[in-house]
Amino acid sequence: MHAWTQMGKGFSLLLCLTLVAQLSFAQNQRRKIDPEEMALRNTSGIQEAANLDDEQTKAVYAIELKYAEHLKEKSEAIMADDSNQDRMSKMLAMKTVRDQVQTDKTAEMKELLPKKQFKKYKKWLNAQEEARAERMGPGGRPGGGRGRPGGGMGRPGGMGGMGGGMGGF
C-alpha cells in the first residue's frame, strides 16, 4: 500500500509540472506579437470609428504597421535581455516602450486626420485603453494582482493597469 501512495504522489507531481509547462507555453504563444495582424485589427477599428476613406485607411495601416513592428522589435529585445533585470523591471521597460510608441503614433495620426476624425480616433483609442485596463485588472496583469487585495506589488492598485493603448497589447 505504501508503494502505491509514493507512486500516486509522483504521478501528481508529474501531472502538476506538465500542466504548469503547458500553461507557460500557452501564455508565451499568446504573447507573440504579429505586427501585420495587429495593424489590420487596429486599422479596421479606426476605420470604423473615424469613418476613414480608402486613402486614409491605407495611410493609417502604414502607420499602425510601422509602430507594431517597432513595438515587436523593442519588446523582443527587452525580453531577450539576459541581464539581471527581474520580471518587474522588464514589464516597466515594456510599458515605457508602449507608451512612447503610442505617443509617437498619436502624433502621426493627428497630422494625418482632420480634427473631427482625430477626435473619433482618440475616442476609439480611449475605449481600447479602457478595455485593456479591464482585461488586465488592478495588478497590471490579466485577472489582477497575485491574490493580494488591491493588485500586485503589495500596494493598492498595483502598477496602475499597465495600459498602453496598443489596441489589444
- Residue 160, pLDDT > 50, answer no
- Residue 164, pLDDT > 60, answer no
Question: Quick one: pLDDT at residue 87?
Answer: 82
DSSP state of 51: T
Q: Span 19-29, mean pLDDT?
A: 55
Q: Span 129-148, mean pLDDT?
A: 68
User: In which band, very low, low, confident or very high, does the pLDDT at 7 lie, cut at 50, 70 and 90?
Assistant: low
User: In which band, very low, low, confident or very high, does the pLDDT at 143 lie, cut at 50, 70 and 90?
Assistant: low
Residue of 61, 44, 166 lying closest to 112 (CA atoms)? 61
What is d(CA 148, CA 132) in angstroms, rounded to the nearest whole number?
A: 20
pTM for the full predicted model: 0.64
User: In which band, very low, low, confident or very high, does the pLDDT at 38 lie, cut at 50, 70 and 90?
Assistant: very high
Residues 6+ apart with CB under 8 A from 162: 91, 95, 136, 140, 141
- Residue 163, pLDDT > 80, answer no
Question: Quick one: pLDDT at residue 167?
Answer: 47
Q: Span 6-10, mean pLDDT?
A: 58
Residue of 69, 36, 68, 59 lying closest to 113 (CA atoms)? 59
Q: Which residue has the higher pLDDT, 128 or 1?
A: 128
What is d(CA 12, CA 8) in angstroms, rounded to the nearest whole number?
A: 6
Question: Quick one: pLDDT at residue 34?
Answer: 92
